[in-house]
Amino acid sequence: MSNQALFSYSSELEFFLPAGMTAETRVSKESCFADDVWDFCDSANARLNAYTPSSLTIKWSRLASETGYAPLPWSTVILLKLFAYLYLHAPASVVPRCKRGSKNHPVTVCRLLKTLLPFMGHLQEKLQLDGAGISDAWTLADVTGRHVRESLKDWDCGSGPDLRRALICLTSSISHQAGEGYAPRWTAADVQTLAIEATTKSY
């Protein structure tokens, strides 16, 4: 990945990312946007010292041997990274009615992604088993509400409210403006109708 802009820029995205977004954009003291692991640990930050390293990391690896779930297409990983970055540094860009200028705690973001990423891998795996011919060119735009509903039928891991929140956030206008056609086509209204179990079972 080069130091070129990673996303198509709209006025909304420019508002939240005035300096642009590249592979080298810092997401934390330890990590850049392109890194396979986002590490939010910081011994100099007293607010973070009470948390374990595992609760302050997001693993983006596309190797099933490292994640335990089906590898995600690169276009999906990039879009989810953009969402995670905005959810951390500018949640108002993806969360309805969120106050502009606010930020989320890294643990909040890590917890949300540790529910969302395995579910996306689970969904990907089901599509592959169904013989959908998924390739590296496959994007979230190819996932329908029906695919999500079918995947939820045998999914009982992670926080149900967190998964619902994440799926709704992915429908934000900024995801569609930046995603250039590979953002989800499901809507917030679609997600509200889904039967998502309120479980906290770990993946």
- The mean-pLDDT minimum among 48-62, 87-101, 137-151 falls in 137-151
53 confidence band (pLDDT: 50, 70, 90): very high
Kindly state the average pLDDT of the residues 178-182. 77
Q: Is the pLDDT of residue 202 over 60?
A: no
Report the candidate in 127, 165, 171, 130 with the shortest Cα–Cα distance to residue 148: 127
* Nearest CA-CA partner of 79 in 182, 185, 190, 186: 182
pLDDT at position 41 is 94
Residue bearing tokens 């956030």:
169
3-7, 118-122, 194-198: which has the minimum mean pLDDT? 3-7
Separation between Cα atoms, residue 48 and residue 41, nearest integer Å: 7
With cut-offs at 50, 70 and 90, classify the pLDDT of residue 200.
low
Task: With a cut of 90, say whether residue 190 has pLDDT above it.
Answer: no
Q: Which of 12, 135, 139, 144 is nearest to 78 (CA)?
A: 139
Alpha-carbon span 139 to 79, nearest angstrom: 10
58, containing H or E segment: strand 57-59
Amino acid at 69: Y
Reported as type and span, the H/E element at residue 37 is: strand 37-39
Mean pLDDT, range 94-118, rounded to an integer: 88
Query: Considering only 5-19, 81-95, 130-144, 146-160, which range has the smallest mean pLDDT?
Result: 130-144
* Mean pLDDT confidence for 132-161: 75
Write out the two tokens for 190: 């679609």
- Write down the pTM of the prediction: 0.85
Angle at 40 between CA 202 and CA 138, to 5 degrees: 65
Secondary structure element (H or E) that encloses residue 175, with its range:
helix 173-179
The pLDDT of 130-136, averaged and rounded, is 52
- Return the SS3 of 80: helix
The per-residue pLDDT for range 59-86, each reduced to its tens digit, is 997 655 555 666 788 888 889 999 999 9
If you average pLDDT over residues 116-145, what whole number do you get?
A: 74
Of the pLDDT bands very low, low, confident and very high (cuts 50, 70, 90), residue 3 is low
Better-scored residue on pLDDT, 2 or 182 = 182
Determine the pLDDT at residue 1: 45
- Encoded amino acid at 88, one letter: L
